[in-house]
């Protein structure tokens, strides 16, 4: 069966001497930003995700004379990511893309600037991979639908955590809210969302590798839990279409994954109680954690929630980073 990926509008290229092909030379270097993402959105394990405005990662890519890919610099990773292009998710996914267009002859140098924590549950590897893929597609003057990059980005996820899920890479690539209706064949649907929905994100600085957070999930579930879960997913998607924030809030309940993964997050339930008391619409784990997020109806409530939760984490001796954002509908963008 054919993959069915809805046609997406490519994000605008900012003016930077990048011109279309023919006899005109295209740019030989580019800088791209790609956003962090919140996967699962509480009830939609592996099938729902959305992009935020910040944080995100930056990739600078240059065409060189020597065939093959090199990674000359990685910043912001505390030395945790490999410079070896055969082991880095950005270069590996870019290489898959180059193979698909028969351009493995070209030389590329990549700089990766991590502007977000690794292993945070905010789609760190996805942001890097999508920035790299969007950069090479633009450098190659490839005007085809960005959706064709998705399978290459999923290869990067597979390498990063052992499973090629798309609920981070798809929203990082397309922006907005995305549903992975099916993985085989791949069927991705972009969803609307109500205007003015804010997302408060708190990253407690504890280590929760996605690979391990996936291993602890039960692989058999009870029918009664499945019924609850698919009711909630349908309710959340309906709420997004109907712009019904109350319906969105009461649908964001997870009886399958959160009860297990919440154990990896310090004071998950007290934090949820605090956020809900402060006026959150909903609260849950971002991706595989340890980041948590709340939806709110306004920026003030989101700001209050991150302040109070950060204070709570400080009181129990846990450092944290916080972000407040609307939903990012643009996805990756050229920044230089």
Binding residues for ATP: 117-127
Any contact of residue 214 with ligand HSE (CB under 6 A)? yes
Any contact of residue 165 with ligand HSE (CB under 6 A)? yes
Smallest gap from Cβ 217 to ligand HSE, in A, equals: 8
Question: 215 in helix, strand or coil?
Answer: helix
From the list 252, 234, 235, 232, the residue with the least C-alpha distance to 181 is 234
Exactly one of 89, 129, 138, 210 is catalytic; which is it? 210
**What is the C-alpha to C-alpha distance for residues 285 and 112, in angstroms, rounded to an integer?**
27
Return the DSSP state at 149. G
Largest separation between any pair of C-alpha atoms in the chain:
63
From the list 177, 165, 302, the residue with the least C-alpha distance to 233 is 177
Q: Which two tokens stand for residue 144?
A: 């085809």
Any contact of residue 91 with ligand HSE (CB under 6 A)? no
Any contact of residue 40 with ligand HSE (CB under 6 A)? yes
C-beta closer to ligand HSE: residue 9 or 211 = 211
Show the site string, 102-121: x = touches ligand HSE by CB under 6 A, - = not. -------------------x
Any contact of residue 130 with ligand HSE (CB under 6 A)? no
**What is the C-alpha to C-alpha distance for residues 159 and 152, in angstroms, rounded to an integer?**
11
Dihedrals φ, ψ of 202, to 5°?
-125, 125
Residue nearest ligand HSE, Cβ-based: 287
C-beta closer to ligand HSE: residue 137 or 155 = 155
Binder of ligand HSE out of 120, 138, 288, 325 (CB under 6 A): 288
State the helix-helix crossing angle for 299-315 and 268-277, rounded to 10 degrees. Answer: 150
Exactly one of 157, 258, 296, 301 is catalytic; which is it? 157
Question: 182 in helix, strand or coil?
Answer: strand
From the list 314, 326, 333, the residue with the least C-alpha distance to 58 is 333
Smallest gap from Cβ 290 to ligand HSE, in A, equals: 11
C-beta closer to ligand HSE: residue 117 or 312 = 117
Any contact of residue 11 with ligand HSE (CB under 6 A)? no
Q: Among this protein's residues, is 314 annotated catalytic?
A: no
Binder of ligand HSE out of 287, 290, 331, 332 (CB under 6 A): 287
Any contact of residue 39 with ligand HSE (CB under 6 A)? yes
**Residues within the annotated binding site?**
117-127
Any contact of residue 210 with ligand HSE (CB under 6 A)? yes
Any contact of residue 188 with ligand HSE (CB under 6 A)? no
**What is the C-alpha to C-alpha distance for residues 292 and 266, in angstroms, rounded to an integer?**
11
Q: Which two tokens stand for residue 68?
A: 């093959």
Burial 282-310 (b: 16+ CB within 10 A, else e): bbbbbbbbbbbbbbbbeeebbebbbebbb
Smallest gap from Cβ 38 to ligand HSE, in A, equals: 9
Any contact of residue 168 with ligand HSE (CB under 6 A)? yes
Q: Among this protein's residues, is 64 annotated catalytic?
A: no
**What is the C-alpha to C-alpha distance for residues 265 and 298, in angstroms, rounded to an integer?**
26
Q: Enumerate the active-site residues.
A: 157, 210
Write out the residues near ligand HSE by the rule CB under 6 A.
Answer: 39-40, 45-46, 121, 123, 165, 167-168, 210, 213-214, 287-288
């Amino acid at each position: 069966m054919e993959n069915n990926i809805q046609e997406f509008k490519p994000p605008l290229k900012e003016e930077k001497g990048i011109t279309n092909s023919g006899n005109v030379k295209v740019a030989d270097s580019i800088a791209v930003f790609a956003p962090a993402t919140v996967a699962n959105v509480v009830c939609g394990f592996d099938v729902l995700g959305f992009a935020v405005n910040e944080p995100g990662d930056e990739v600078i890519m240059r065409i060189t004379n020597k065939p093959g890919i090199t990674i000359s610099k990685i910043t912001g990773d505390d030395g945790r990511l490999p410079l070896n292009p055969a082991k880095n998710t950005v270069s590996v996914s870019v290489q898959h893309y180059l193979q698909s267009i028969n351009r493995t002859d070209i030389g590329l140098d990549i700089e990766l600037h991590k502007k977000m924590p690794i292993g945070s549950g905010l789609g760190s590897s996805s942001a890097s991979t999508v920035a790299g893929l969007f950069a090479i597609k633009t450098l190659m003057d490839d005007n085809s639908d960005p959706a064709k990059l998705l399978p290459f980005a999923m290869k990067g996820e597979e390498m990063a955590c052992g499973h090629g899920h798309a609920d981070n890479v798809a929203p990082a690539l397309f922006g907005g809210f995305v549903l992975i209706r099916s993985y085989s064949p791949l069927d991705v649907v972009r969803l609307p969302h109500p205007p003015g929905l804010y997302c408060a994100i708190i990253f407690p600085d504890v280590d929760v590798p996605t690979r391990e957070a996936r291993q602890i999930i039960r692989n058999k579930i009870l029918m009664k839990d499945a019924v609850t879960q698919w009711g909630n997913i349908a309710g959340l998607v309906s709420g997004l279409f109907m712009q019904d924030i109350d319906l969105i809030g009461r649908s964001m309940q997870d009886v399958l994954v959160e009860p297990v993964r919440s154990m990896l997050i310090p004071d998950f339930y007290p934090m949820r109680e605090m956020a809900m008391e402060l006026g959150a619409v909903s609260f849950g784990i971002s991706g595989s954690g340890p980041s948590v997020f709340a939806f709110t109806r306004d920026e003030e409530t989101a700001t209050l929630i991150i302040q109070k939760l950060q204070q709570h984490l400080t009181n129990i001796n846990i450092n944290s980073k916080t972000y407040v954002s609307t939903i990012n509908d643009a996805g990756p963008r050229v920044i230089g």
